[in-house]
Amino acid sequence: MKSSNWAYSFEDADGSNKDLFGGKGANLAAMTALGLPIPPGFTVTTEACLRYFKDNANLHDEIKAEVKEQIAKLESKLGRKFGDPANPLLVSVRSGAKASMPGMMDTILNLGLNDETAEGLAALTDNKRFALDSYRRFIQTFSEVVLGIDLDEFEAILTNIREAAGVHYDYQIPAEALERLLAEYKKVVERHRGNGLPQDPMEQLYMAVSAVFASWNTPRAKTYRRLNAIPDDLGTAANVQAMVFGNMGDNSGTGVAFSRNPSTGEHKIYGEFLVNAQGEDVVAGIRTPRSIDSLQELMPEQAEELFDTIERLDQHFKDMQDVEFTIEEGKLYILQTRSGKRTGAAALRIAVESQEQGYFDKEEALMRVEPSSLDQLLHKQVDPTAPAKPVAEGLNASPGAAVGRIVLDPDRATQLAAEGQKLILVRNETTPDDIHGLNASEGVLTARGGMTSHAAVVARGMGKPCVAGCTGMEANEEAGTVTFKGYDGTLKEGDSLTIDGTTGKAYIGELPLVDPQIGDDFAKFLGWADEVRRLGVRTNADNPVDTRRAYEFGAQGIGLCRTEHMFMEQERLPHVRAMILAENEEERRAHLAKIKEFQRSDFEGIFREMHGYPVTIRLLDPPLHEFLPHDEEEIEEVIRSVKGDTTEDEIARLKARVLSLQESNPMLGFRGCRLGLIYPEINEMQVEAILEAAITVRREGEQVDPEIMIPLSGARAELALIEEKLRPVAEAVFERMGDRVAYKFGTMIEVPRAALTADEIAEVAEFFSFGTNDLTQMTLGISRDDAEEKFLRQYVDMGIYAANPFAQLDQTGVGRLVTMAVELGRKTRPDLKIGICGEHGGDPSSIDFCHRNAFDYVSCSPFRVPIARLAAAQSAIRAKRGEQVLKRL
């Protein structure tokens, strides 16, 4: 047994221990144990990475010693020598964290080359061009990744050499031109470093391992982890592997293949490759690769072996595999495999088909799909009836359609998106450094690259549409223009563009989009989730259309119907404003009677569409000034529209009254239950409308289950006074209509005091619904609108919050109040119904919290209902298995 955990050969590593060896290292160990054609190597562990950071970004001597020992074993195994010009050993150094982070960290190929070993490699292979090409690749990547020299300096030289040689692609550059290129590359390194490129291979290796470890904390890696909820304290392993070469001629090549289609989930080998190339060429998007199917024509024996190996890996890992391979002079090598990134549609299909193939049971199938990825199935597509001709066509790299304004720079995309603009990021090709721009945009369009390019992989992971490899397109960032082959005009930044990642087409202008059609697998899969989950899933809906959509998505009721949204509609707003400007209760009630007709009609439609499931209706919540304009001229117009001809003195008096309604801090002002206590006629009108609608719909043969929710209560007395006023109103409705329905009175827990005194409030309330948006604001002392614009993102970046607390529930702060309120409330009323209706009701980690705290239901927007159904099922499965809970904050 080893006394340290710094470096292990692939033979000695544990293929099941991703914590220590990272995903890539563990899989290399597993494939080695399976006897697959894996270039030998070793893994420098995640513990070595964490020690590197502990030692102030220095590679400890113990780690260096074990790396050197592993190199000696590799030399003995292969009969080559590190730094030996006659028979040089060359290696690659690749990152490999526990969680796959494609393109986010660094890789160095051809390490071990120097001036002498490059000459030796040329003599050994009798292929001078191959050796020079490998050396230039090493200098370029080592200089960028390890030495920190801007890649653009090398690219400029490479472009000049290509043009001078009269060739289009790098692999076409002749040997004599590559010699001139290397001389120029060395000058760049000398200018930046002073003493040139390190010539000692062991020094190169130590520096490369350090650089891979350091890449764990690059801005792009941190951004990716933040977007994908990957912890920062895992570290990455570094995998050192003997080089095999796909750039040794036309009987060599390299590629990436998936065991299933990552966009659709179809169980068919899918991928692409390049002849006479190294792996970086495929993923960098510099050359547009060929479909993996054509490998069967060019190299049939190698294609058959590759396809058999990929299928074997799919069966072994019981998941879709993303496989990198190289063919060196006719011999196949597998460089790595990992669980492939996939679209939500693909994830769903793979889970269902794998379960039906007997890979695993239904519960495991449910755990294989990230709940948020289901959102991708609900993305819109271009309306097929739209009379539009595509301006360009590329690869359908990530499904869904998007409309937005062209933006060419990822930094500018972030800035414009923050201003509320919808954007399409247009690039010749993307790099990992562009991730923030992709995240800020609705979709991405690239001129170069394939289905496994950076843009494609990241867009699929984000669920954003992507069209890649759009040949004939050129994006000129400096000029701010985009041109397309066959199109005479020139588009500029800010022009509108539509992309369809499902078909691979791009259109000028804004095309209409249509809702997606959900397949049979979707209903089957969510049916499995419903068999497992304990939590109910409701929706937040304020009108019959949203209610119908949510019901179709599987909602089991409405957890929040915001009645104020009904007030804001155009034909109702004048009556609402007239009610606010009323001089007395009698006048106010007269206008409320007109509003009541609208409210009752809305409630009838909602009850009908919910087919007997509970409907929780929140009485008027916002302050009255929100229904009035803020500009004095507009206020005067409203007064004249309501009051008609009146005196200037009267207008001035009413204007002063309107202005007096405005508040310096309306979130904590005259709203919610406070309105209901001072103006009880508003609540009375709404209760009448709710119960009259319920009786009307019940008489039609539909079951109804109304729940009336009082907002913003912070004391038992508030709630008790309102209930005392409203119970007689309900009885009057029943007497007048000669019929009655069962109903409940409850409250929204959104004030910290309500949580702290929940035992007292439960004496009155028959249900609690946690309004975690306002509860978060009041508990953290943060105004959401101001914070998200001014500092909240920086707080997340600085680690003050692990995530935006308005997107994921702050479980250690706000969550503690919620837990206390649940315990206190049920101590008083054991059958107290408890739900959540804030934005957190659709967040998987927050749903997990609700499951653990014995909530009855969560409520979320209609399109997040499927996500909530799956997340609730996964919480039940985790609890059954005793696994670690999902906890973000």
Report, as residue numbers or ranges, the catalytic residues: 454, 837
Amino acid at 157: I
Indicate the burial class of 174 (C-beta count within 10 angstroms; 0-12, 13-18, 19 or more).
middle
Both structure tokens of 484:
């397309």
Strand ranges in 68-139 using DSSP code E only, listed in sequence order: 91-97, 107-111
* Crossing angle (nearest 10°) for helices 544-552 and 585-610: 20
Tokens 């977007």, residue? 227
Tokens 């933006």, residue? 407
| Dist CA 763 CA 454 (whole Å) | 58
Residues 6+ away with beta carbon under 8 Å from 188: 143, 149, 153, 154, 157
Tokens 């691979």, residue? 504
Q: Is the dihedral of CA 717, 719, 720, 726 positive or negative?
A: positive
Q: Which residues of 89-109 are buried (b: 16+ CB within 10 A; e: fewer)?
A: bbbbbbbbbbebbbbbbbbbb
The neighbour count for residue 419, using CB atoms within 10 Å, is: 6
Closest-CA residue to 213 (of 337, 108, 75): 108
Strand ranges in 331-394 using DSSP code E only, listed in sequence order: 331-339, 381-382, 392-393
Kindly report the backbone phi and psi dihedral angles of residue 618, in degrees, each rounded to the nearest multiple of 5, phi listed first: -85, 130
DSSP class of 245:
-
Q: Is the dihedral of CA 432, 433, 439, 443 positive or negative?
A: negative
Q: Which residues of 813-834 are buried (b: 16+ CB within 10 A; e: fewer)?
A: ebbebbbebbebbbeebeebbb
* Greatest pairwise CA separation for the chain in angstroms: 103
Q: Annotate 695-760 with DSSP letters as a single string.
A: HHHHHTT---EEEEEE-S--SHHHHHHHHHHHHHHHHHHHHHHT-----EEEEEE-SHHHHHTHHH
Tell me how long the chain is.
Answer: 889
Q: Which helix (H) or strand (E) holds 153?
A: helix 151-165
| Dist CA 564 CA 562 (whole Å) | 6
Q: Which residues of 455-464 are buried (b: 16+ CB within 10 A; e: fewer)?
A: bbbbbbbbbb
CB 131 within 8 A of CB 125: yes
Question: Dihedral (C-alpha) 30, 33, 36, 37: value to the nearest 10 degrees?
Answer: 100
Amino acid at 179: E
Amino acid at 298: L
Pairing of strands 91-97, 107-111: antiparallel
| Dist CA 730 CA 609 (whole Å) | 23
Closest-CA residue to 403 (of 441, 448, 375, 436): 441
| Dist CA 624 CA 221 (whole Å) | 47
Query: Kindly report the CA angle at 471 between 468 and 477, in degrees rounded to 5?
Result: 75
Tokens 């794998």, residue? 354
Intra-chain end-to-end CA distance of the chain, in Å = 38
Both structure tokens of 708:
């009336």
| Dist CA 292 CA 206 (whole Å) | 36
CB 879 within 8 A of CB 547: no
